[in-house]
Structure 1
Amino acid sequence: MMKMTILLSWVALTLLSLKCYLAERIIQHGPVFTQEPSDSVFPLSSEDNKIFINCKAKGNPLPHYRWKFNGRDLDVYTDLNYSLVEGNLLINNPQAMKDGGSYQCIATNAFGTILSRKAKVEFAYLQNFTNKARNAVLVREGQAVVLLCGPPPHFGEIRYAWIYNGHPSALIQDNRRFVSQRTGNLYIAKVEPSDVGNYTCVVKNMMTNGTVYSSPTPLVLRRDAVMGEYEPKIEVQFEEMLRVIKGSSVRLECFALGK
């Protein structure tokens, strides 16, 4: 008896589902989104070099799709960089400067048109350092020094490290040496003769896994004076002047070095 009841319940549910399906197919209505595009960050180093921005809608008759980029219609039918895959937007060979921006999906049938929310699309990338040689930084023994990293253009979370004299392992931080993960600069307190050498800044994009290396910065001891004749100070050689737009603010980092 119980088996018969379960069987009848299953048949009833199947018939109800079939009824709903047929009603959906028979009753005509305008499009309704089932999936809208969302804010996304894509790595540009992906092997297939393609990205999808999702969009799906139901409707009867089935809707067709268009896309807007920064408020303007995209030509997905003649521009080879774009194509539609069941409403989803496929971008071939995306470029950060060209394809980053705001996207909206438009679904249309005979009974109406709907416009999706705006989705901000950004691309994680990391460019190379310039090959320009870096000037030597001069410091007296026992003083403190800051070596500037100056990371290249990038987007997405990055991590900094330094290598010494081309050694493959990253420089170990201790009570004298510190790498700022905000600026990438290397701070060395109480410089010793063993610190003399070439220092290279290493930048890694955590999303793309791309890694780039700066030109070496030579650290050289000055021996033109005896310690104690001068007030302790930090000597830092800036390659370029910082340009500040009028009305903007600049945050200066202060790091206390041990004596």
Structure 2
Amino acid sequence: MNIKNKTIVITGGAQGLGFSMAKSFIKQGAHIALIDMCNQQLDDAVIELSSDINKVISYVADVTKEDEVIKTFNLINNDFGSIDILINNAGITRDGMLVKVKDDQVVERMSLKQFQSVIDVNLTGVFLCGREAASYMIENSEVSSGVIINMSSICRAGNIGQTNYAASKAGVVALTTTWAKELGRFNIRVGAIAPGVIDTQMTRAMKPQAQDRMIQGTSVGRFGSADEIAHTAQYIIENDFFTGRVIEIDGGIRI
């Protein structure tokens, strides 16, 4: 699929990896629909992305709320005339041990709220947005193909202190392979990206010692860049033979 003149919907698109992907795609002639929860950040993002040629519109929505997702995707389809590509990027972390033990006594447990909040955004949100995007892509399948990209993580294999996050990101890959099988007959491809540690505001806020340890765990000796994630998404979009698979982009991290 050629990115030029395609409508790309990006959840969590007002900042971080989502915004970096939007900046990359707007340069290539795409039209961008940004979904996020912060009105001010969305306004700032639209101003920075503004183009005389390409359409950029923002939408305030909580991806965990079914009614908001349905309404938002209906608005996007009406505003742009089609939905060609969805990037399910919105996600959160609420890290903690399953049980915290001190002197052989359990002193703390991961709460259901801590677990469920991550599942709601990272997995249920992907399901809801994917379902709505696929519906509009199918309706337009006679004249255009569709692509859905789900953001997973290398932590999907399991990571200490991330019961909730790892479970959600493993589920995202399961959705990806299932949807690829179900939606292929409608000319819709589905792929996933599993990043390692990427240079973002979150990693920059870490202590230098922690950053050094993470960098030393990679084969390339550095964090990944947001531009490299955008390039990976571009590969999935442009390679019409790619579907049902996950790309790990982690700098050869050694676990």
Determine if the TM-score, normalized by the shorter chain, exceeds 0.5. Answer: no
Higher helix proportion? 2
Higher strand proportion? 1
Larger Cα-atom Rg = 1
TM-score (norm 2): 0.24
